Amino acid sequence: MKNPKAEDRRVRRTKAALRHGLVELMRKKPISNITVKELAEKSDVSRGTFYKYYNDIEGMSEAIKTDMAAELRAIVQKHTDTDTDFPRELFVGFYSYLKRNSDFGVFFMSANGNGKFVDSIVAVVRRRIEEEYREVLGKLEPGPLDYFFSYNTAGCISLFGSWIAHGMKESPEEMAALTVSFIVSAVDAVSGKE
Query: Which pLDDT score is estimated for 115?
Result: 59
Query: Which pLDDT score is estimated for 193?
Result: 65
Which domains, from first to last, does the chain contain? 1-54 (1.10.10.60), 64-191 (no CATH)
pTM over the 0.85 mark: no
Report pLDDT digits (tens) over 85-95: 778 888 898 89
User: Which residues have CB under 8 Å from 45's CB, separation 6+?
Assistant: 14, 17, 18
Query: Which pLDDT score is estimated for 107?
Result: 55
Residues of the chain with pLDDT under 70: 1-7, 80-84, 104-118, 121, 192-194
> CB atoms < 10 A from the CB of 19, how many?
19
Query: Which pLDDT score is estimated for 22?
Result: 93
Q: How far apart are CA 44 and CA 40, in angstroms?
A: 6
